[in-house]
Amino acid sequence: MTALCGIERFVTDPELLGPWFNGDSWSNWLTVLKGAFGEPLSESEHRQFVLLAEREPPDARVRELWCAIGRRAGKDSTASAIATYMATAIDWSPYLRPGERATILCLAVDRQQAALVFSYIAGYFDRVPMLGALVNRRTDDTIELEHVDIMVATCSYRSLRGKTVALAILDECAFWRPADGAFVSPDVEVYSALLPCLMTLRKAGALIIGISSVYRRAGLLYDKWQDHHGKPGDVLVIKAPSRTFNPTLDEAAIVADMALDPARGAAEWLSEWRNDIAAFVSREAVEAVIIPGRRELLPRADVRYFGFCDPAGGSGADAMTLAICHVEGSAAERRILDCIREWKPHFSPEVVVEEAAATLAQYGVTMVTGDRYAGDWPGERFRSHGIDYISSEKHKSEIYRAFLSILNSAQCELLDDPRLVGQLIGLETKTAWGGRQSIDHGLGGHDDLINAAAGALVLSESSRSLLAWRGML
């Protein structure tokens, strides 16, 4: 790696980033950066590094740096300093083909969140004349230098193809959720897609940085912590409370916030992995019941179908969904999901109910079960189209619990729909105070499709038994 100066000088020089990283409160970050980039440590810095990393300093620059550190501890500021350093102080040109450009990526769950780190970087170029002189062109999401582009991107593996990456910052990666349901683990998918992008510039110092406060015991950040924390090698993992890296934080305010929700507070301020949140199902169990390539089954005259609806008003964030299924076998050996529909906001409830009723009629369904918290409007609208709407006797968590045994015993067949699958695998079991458990989507997620599908599959058997008792089957 050919660098014009070291990371310590770049961050502390008053003519560069020194005005924003001076003072004792940044000493722990500076120690970590020097260790991560293989720069010599003083005796006191060496001792401090061992305390922070629970390992000896690496012999040379690391390939990956993962910072599982509490909120307001300077993670974004530090990542922006590294990005600015690697964009301006390292000469990538000997490793690039003619016309090829190195890319510094700020990745997050959405462009708005990724833009936070990008705005810090842009601020350095605005305020430091030596850096500003290097800018050839600038847009809202890109800073172009002579051989380097600094860019904002979302946590999608599709946005990475074709790029030659010098640095990728995975911002708040413990909280990444799929935007389109295509992949349940965007952190893992993005990481896998990044590795080929980094190959060209690995010898020149290409780097992955993951920065996030912690969440549940799953995902890329958790795996990196398990595999590399406190162990020698070129992957450095730092896990620490907020005040370890930002001692200026008000301890009394942190204590007060933690008192409101101890589990959340321990994760956000103390960097303790949450034990009260766990994955609801395994990906393997879900994949075992998906019928590859099956998007929908046409209605059959010899089958009785059952429908479940998850209503929505059309003006909020929730979609309205409908699922239709049937049961095969005299002993209900298989529950088959035939059809799912999703209407994303914003929409007219009148129009959507009319379309849902028409779909139900195609399958010969005259009674649909739905969310009991939706109020009276679904029943009124469905009845106007000849469909009886019955409020579910089970609430959402009860439906999911009943569905779990159906899923784990492989007694159902699911459609090959990425959004449905993504929502199912994204469900989380949450334990509240007193031990009460609920099942719901994770932060930033949705469960409208899987709620309808699970409701139809669970309630089909009880409805089927009732109809059989009445002699209607």
Cβ contacts of 188-192, under 8 Å, gap ≥ 24: 188/219, 188/220, 189/157, 190/107, 190/155, 190/156, 190/157, 190/160, 191/220, 192/157
Q: How confident is the model at residue 81 (pLDDT cuts 50, 70, 90)?
A: very high
pTM of the model: 0.78
Is it the case that residue 3 has pLDDT exceeding 80?
A: no
Provide the pLDDT for residue 300.
95
Topology of domain 7-275, CATH = Rossmann fold (3.40.50)
Paired tokens of 427: 């469900």
In eight-state DSSP terms, residue 153 is: E
Domain boundaries, the chain: 7-275, 283-469
Over residues 37-45, mean pLDDT: 96
Topology of domain 283-469, CATH = Nucleotidyltransferase; domain 5 (3.30.420)
Number of CB atoms found within 10 A of residue 293's CB: 7
Provide the pLDDT for residue 178.
60
Do 283-469 and 7-275 have the same topology in CATH? no
Mean pLDDT, the chain, whole residue set: 90
In eight-state DSSP terms, residue 288 is: T
